Amino acid sequence: MSKDQIQTGRAQECWNVSETRVLKYTMEMYHKGLKEHKLISAPELDILENKADLQAQKWIDKWESIESKRRINSEKEANLEEANSRTEAAIKSLKEIDNLLTRTLSIDDKVDWERLKKKEKYPEQSPAKPTQKRKKEYPPKPVKQSAEYTPVLTFFEKLFKSKKERKIREFDNKYFTAYSEWEKQKATIDSSNKQLDKDFTDEIYKWEKDVIEWEKQNNIFLQKQADFNAKIDQMKELYLTQNNDSIIEYCEMVLNNSEYPDSFPKNFELEYNPDNKILILEYELPAIERLPKVKDVKYIASRKDLKEYYVSESQTNKMFDDAMYKIALRTIHELFEADVVNAIEAISFNGWVKAINKAIGKEENICILSIQVMKTEFLSIDLSNVDPKSCFKNLKGVASSKLSSLTPIQPILQISRVDKRFVESYAVANQIDNTTNLAAMDWEDFEHLIRELFEKEFQTGGGEVKVTRASRDGGVDAIAFDPDPIRGGKIVIQAKRYTNTVGVSAVRDLYGTVLNEGATKGILVSTADYGPDAYEFAKAKPLTLLNGSNLLYLLEKHGYHAKIDLREAKKLLAERDE
């Protein structure tokens, strides 16, 4: 507070020469912040106090004016600093987009196998061995022959026997009292030292157990590390021998190591053909909204506010186009440079963008550029000096004139969705009616009915459902595909034409199939119901369990009618088996 800055002295009386009356009163005042000193005077005390108050108020007003200006300047400096900081961040973001291609040229994109290995030490320190606490020592033992307990007799004590004996008894009693006290102290110390020994023994025992447990955990940690590193060595060996799966896994590592702005997606799908050594890459490109928009931030003093200045729409569109071409060329460069075993002779790159179709208001996945290029041709290009768009076009890449228009193009080569396990399907749904007992259907007809049903369920999104070769086990596998190459959209469907409750083992089998297939979801369809253990296992997993009622509902949803009579089915199946 400003008042705290003011120091006021005591009022002093000024007398006339003969000291018969007071001429005036004086007072010293000082303002610490302003560093101003003032001596005021008045003929009366009340007038002096009034003048002091007026002076104090002048200083308060002056000081608050100075502080206000200082605060304004401080806020202005803070806002200017914030504006500069945000401007620097904006410039950095824009520069990061500008350097998307050139940045990768100074980086070795080959996978460093040794860096992938875990070499850390076990984080927990080995238990420290306890130290024996220092034992207490005995106090000095009283000595009978010491001067303290040996009486010095006077002449009269020597002359009179009774005096002599009394003095000797006093010193003897003094000695025995001291000795008795010493023995008590010794016993106490012995007990304390014995407890120290016991405590130390317990600490050693606990430490030995802790060391055993630490060594156990350390060995587990080191074994896990060794197992992990062995897998890295195995991955490396498989890659060096050009194992197909390992080549894809290696390329995934290369692309995952590539650093992009945090706002960019990092989704892709790979397929490798060992016959022609072509790597097909379906790559999700960032939507135009993911690009930086701010180019400058200024402090507007009149509004006491920060104002952002944005990149124009035309500049954003140009930046988007340049960035997409740079990402395509950069990705191809990284994969070719990392290909140390020469497993890849050509790369087919398809760039996809997820964006809202403003005509229908729904998100679509659009392929906006596609290119296929030979390794020998691509490596002869000096990417540090090219115009990305011209380079892309020169390599016969396909794209619209303005990528920002998000005009779809047909990819040159796409990942194949063909699975050799698939068989030709046939229609069944039109042959069933209210009298058809699904639980007693022929197993193969039931298989194709499920395929047909889910094909109708998925077809609104362009989905496809295929039936795999069945094994007459009463269950059936089918696989649904979402056409979106980025999401993958692989859904495993298993059907159980059961007449008894489905147990948890069938749900476990489905989950294992989902993991093995790399699917996004699993659906189990049964003509019966599921046990509580089955529902419990499916919780929090990408699994959907459909019972007989759900199956009938789906059929009715798509215009088909049937029934499920488990008792009748058991009887019919038993007669059929006979």
DSSP class of residue 461 equals G
459 pLDDT more than 80: no
Which amino acid appears at position 398 of this protein? V
- Residue after which a domain boundary falls, among 377, 405, 433: 405
Q: Which of the two residues, 105 and 471, has the higher pLDDT score?
A: 105
**Structural tokens at position 578:** 């006979």
Q: Are residues 145 and 215 in the same domain?
A: yes
Q: Are residues 432 and 571 in the same domain?
A: yes
CATH number for the domain harbouring residue 464: 3.40.1350.10
**Structural tokens at position 20:** 């018969």
- Is residue 246 domain-resident? no
- Residue after which a domain boundary falls, among 223, 238, 253: 238
Q: Are residues 228 and 296 in the same domain?
A: no
CB 350 within 8 Å of CB 367: yes
Q: Are residues 329 and 398 in the same domain?
A: yes
- Is residue 96 domain-resident? no
262 pLDDT more than 70: yes
Work out the angle at residue 65's Cα, subtended by the Cα atoms of residues 61 and 69, and round it to the nearest 5 degrees.
170
Q: For 410-440, write each residue's pLDDT tens digit.
A: 888 887 655 555 556 677 888 888 898 888 8
DSSP class of residue 434 equals T
Q: Are residues 233 and 272 in the same domain?
A: no
CB 362 within 8 Å of CB 299: no
Positive or negative, the Cα torsion across 113, 119, 120, 122?
positive
Q: For 138-179, write each residue's pLDDT tens digit.
A: 999 999 888 888 988 888 888 888 888 898 899 889 999 999
DSSP class of residue 136 equals P
- Is residue 103 domain-resident? no
- Is residue 72 domain-resident? yes
Q: Are residues 207 and 135 in the same domain?
A: yes
Q: Are residues 67 and 193 in the same domain?
A: no
- Residue after which a domain boundary falls, among 343, 371, 405: 405
CA distance 115 to 119: 9
Q: What are phi and psi of 304, to 5 degrees?
A: 50, 50
Task: Please give the full DSSP string across 21-46, using - where no structure is assigned.
Answer: SEEEEEEEEEETTTTEEEEEEESSHH
Q: Are residues 429 and 527 in the same domain?
A: yes
How far is Cα of residue 210 from the mean position of the Cα atoms in its chain?
33
Q: Which residues contact 404 (CB under 8 A, 6 or more apart)?
A: 288, 316, 317, 320, 321
- Is residue 254 domain-resident? no
Q: Are residues 433 and 389 in the same domain?
A: no
Q: For 372-404, write each residue's pLDDT tens digit.
A: 999 999 999 999 999 999 999 999 999 988 999
Per-residue model confidence (pLDDT) at position 474: 41
CA distance 447 to 493: 10
121 pLDDT more than 50: yes
- Is residue 245 domain-resident? no
Q: Are residues 278 and 383 in the same domain?
A: yes
Q: Are residues 347 and 234 in the same domain?
A: no
CB 388 within 8 Å of CB 101: yes
DSSP class of residue 550 equals H
CA distance 575 to 578: 5
- Is residue 164 domain-resident? yes
CA distance 379 to 333: 8
- Is residue 427 domain-resident? yes
327 lies in which domain range? 265-405
Per-residue model confidence (pLDDT) at position 392: 95
Closest CA to 240 of 117, 341, 112: 341
Task: Give how many domains the chain has, as a whole number.
Answer: 4
Q: Are residues 363 and 269 in the same domain?
A: yes
Q: What is the pTM of this model?
A: 0.56
